[in-house]
Chains A and B, each alone.
Chain A
Amino acid sequence: QSVLTQPPSASGTPGQRVTISCSGSSSNIGNNYVYWYHQLPGTAPKLLIYRNNQRPSGVPDRFSGSKSGTSASLAISGLRSEDEGHYYCATWDGNLSGPLFGGGTKLTVL
């Protein structure tokens, strides 16, 4: 069980807005940037959000990230079928002295 807690699943219908939470502590999220990755089945994770709320080139503005205290959230608006897959939050952990991943959230578009 990861130190970064994510809901195991989330769902929504096309066009809806969904949010995925990531809860940590002062040793990780509380004092470091949060990153979000999207992983489709059988493929490598792809960076979706960096430094809490920044989008890499090519990522639609339907995706947004936020952080408050020791928690972070990923919001997806205008949900589309291609948004399905697993979403992982990640951050640096001072106790680990290394990067830490959340347990992942499987998003289903109904």
Chain B
Amino acid sequence: QITLKESGPTLVKPTQTLTLTCTFSGFSLTTTGVGVGWIRQPPGKALEWLALIYWNDDKRYSPSLKSRLTITKDTSKNQVVLTMTNMDPVDTATSYCALWRFDAFYIWGQGTVVTVSS
């Protein structure tokens, strides 16, 4: 059974750096074609892709947020970490991590709510 679970702070202050961790099981991030990505969803709004890391450590970022994002993986811990710098209240959202297989996000975590407020 494949599962993913996001963890991180529920509240961050403006200008701070957010660190989110995705802990997964049921698949390996060393398998060809596999990746883990992050997607966020502001309250009442649509899904927005943030970043994606592949089995071969290739990394992709949303162009609009690239300067603020870093994605890394730790295959020994089955974890993927996303950091986002210089947080702003407009970054308030539910963030999801999801399993990427070849060409889409197939299985998603339950999501974690992050509020940016002073």
Residue ID in chain A nearest B110 by CB atoms: A44
Total contacting residues, chain B, CB less than 8 A:
21
Q: Could you say which residues of chain B place their CB within 8 Å of the CB of A33?
A: 103-104
Q: Could you say which residues of chain A place their CB within 8 Å of the CB of B37?
A: 99
Interface presence of B57 (CB below 8 A) = no
Interface size class of A (residues with CB under 8 A): 20 to 34
Contact, CB under 8 Å: B49 / A88 = no
A44-B96, A50-B104 known; A100 vs B49 contact (CB < 8 Å): yes
Q: Could you say which residues of chain B place their CB within 8 Å of the CB of A56?
A: 106
Contact, CB under 8 Å: A99 / B63 = no
Cross-chain contact of A103 among B46, B49, B104 (Cβ < 8 A): B46
Contact, CB under 8 Å: B108 / A88 = no
Contact, CB under 8 Å: A101 / B103 = no
Interface presence of A68 (CB below 8 A) = no
Cross-chain contact of A51 among B60, B103, B110 (Cβ < 8 A): B103
Residue ID in chain B nearest A93 by CB atoms: B49
Contact, CB under 8 Å: B107 / A47 = yes
The contact string, 1 if C-beta is below 8 Å from chain B, for chain A 61-100, is 0000000000000000000000000001010100011111
In the assembled complex, the Cα of A9 lies from the Cα of B52 at a distance in Å of 30
Contact, CB under 8 Å: A47 / B49 = no
Q: Could you say which residues of chain B place their CB within 8 Å of the CB of A90?
A: 47, 104-105
Cross-chain contact of B49 among A32, A99, A104 (Cβ < 8 A): A99
| A-to-B contact residues, CB < 8 Å | 2, 32-33, 35, 37, 43-47, 50-51, 56, 88, 90, 92, 96-104
